[in-house]
Amino acid sequence: MFIMSEDSQRTQGRDAQSSNIMAGKAVAESVRTTLGPRGMDKMLVDSGGEVVITNDGATILNEMDIEHPAAQMIVEVADSQEEEVGDGTTTAAVIAGNLLGEAEDLIEQDVHATTIVEGYHEASEIALEAISEQVSEEVVDDEVLKQVAESSMTGKGTGGLTAESLAETVVEAIRHVELEDGVARDNVTVHTQIGASSNATELVPGIVIDEEPAHDGMPGEVEDASLAVLDVELGVRTGEIDAEYSIDSIDQLNSAIDAEESEVRGYAETVAESGADVVFTTEDVDDRVASYLATEGVLVFEGIGDSDAKDIVSATGATRVGALDDLEEADFGQADRISAENYGDDDLAFVEGGAAAETVTVFVRGGTEHIVDELERAIGDALDVVATALASGEVVPGAGATEIAIADKIREEAAGIEGRKQLAVNAFADALDIVPRTLAANTGRDPIDALVDLRAAHDSTGRAGLITSGEEVTIDDPFDYGVIDPADVKREAIESATEAATMIARIDDVIAAE
């Protein structure tokens, strides 16, 4: 009797567990060398020849063509980390992979998967307590936020611009969107533009969109602007069906031309008389309308995307209008300055100040596409972690110090846990050692020696990390060197890695349909 299709493949027991764990470990290992300030980059080339150069864990894993379902769970760990806190993706993936490795060793010692899962969950609770104990008592001010941003970007491709300089821009951007009850992170965007040194990166108090004026004769800059956002085609109306009109005389032709000109001029006059200095429309603008508005000193941008229109409305307080007859002064948005600027082959519109200042843009410059892409990723992560740190007000030491403290507390608590579950709890602590060991390996130090030294320093001082300063690598208090991470980044990494590892470890039967 056949229950499944003859083409189905089934893997059971230890073989299934081994296959899944091996896949998860392989994915984690693929990003391990990117961890830390001395982490290396990966070059990813797709089937079409597109190249991505990055050391961002989430980007690497998403660009890889991963088909194994267990391996895909590690990718989901990185995605979850990226979505929730914006950084720590590599750390989360590496921890998950090492938890699987430790689980594999326990399974080979005949420790049941359920016991491992229970031990891992208990250890993760202890880990969260240890993170809270490591939270600094220092107030999270601008200086601390800069250190958080700099720690996030150190080791990432920042071109010729130092992480310290970028950190100031990042903190300024987040402070712009700080609210009484949190941070409006979505009000900070990153816009990249090739063609200058990364030192030209700046903060724009407003938004930047890829658009050019509808007519060359329009002003390039309007100050104290009243702007309208339209979903209206400023041109001759056309029917939705094909139709032909028969003209029998010159008078009829002239009448048709006059009617068309009257319609076009009517659109232009309505816009000009409305009092709008700048118009953004999602539809097209007839050349004659654009020419007339140019003579009236009105700046018009046509064919803007729906998302850009939403951003402009959100930033300036304008109301989108779907019919020109409905346009009133109350629908206008306000901005201190709107300008059209040219960057090589690209034209950009800047909407700055006034109501637009509630939304800010980090305008990233770089000499090549690869540089600006990596800068965009680095700054995006830094914005996320600064927003997280500001919202929670909790930061912990980086450089592997928090992982050393967590592992130490777990081993201490494990002594009071009975049965085989104690083995799983201790294995969890051993798995966390992968972070300081990897940091040491990526700096050229012997991982075992570094781990021993870190543990000894932690026992004597209560806080010790692997500090990289120039060519020197020392073991000291990360807070003294400004190597700081948001506590929520560590919590999310522990929780997401634990969930993925325990889910994979419990699978003992894989049924694949062809």
Active site residues: 56, 89-90, 381
Q: Where are the alpha helices (DSSP H) in 3-55?
A: 13-32
Provide the 3-class DSSP secondary structure of residue 374. helix
Buried b / exposed e along 401-411 (16+ C-beta atoms within 10 A): bbbbbbbbbbb
CA distances from 179 to 68, 169, 204, 205, 321 (A): 43, 18, 19, 16, 29
The strand pair at 278-281 and 221-230 is best described as: parallel
Q: What letter represents residue 313's amino acid? A: V
Largest interatomic CA distance in the chain: 103
User: Can you read off the two tokens belonging to residue 140?
Assistant: 């999270």
Type of residue numbered 182: G
Question: DSSP readout, 429-442?
Answer: HHHHTHHHHHHHHH
Say if CB 150 and CB 482 are below 8 A apart. Answer: yes
Say if residues 512 and 8 touch (Cβ distance below 8 Å): yes
Q: Which residues contact 394 (CB under 8 A, 6 or more apart)?
A: 135, 136, 140, 486, 487, 488
Please list the residues that pair with 12 across neighbouring strands: 509
Task: Give me the helices (H) in 415-486, please.
Answer: 421-432, 434-443, 447-461
Phi-psi domain of 57 (left: phi exceeds 0; alpha: psi -120 through 50; beta: other):
alpha
Collapsing DSSP states into helix, strand and coil, what is residue 189?
Answer: strand
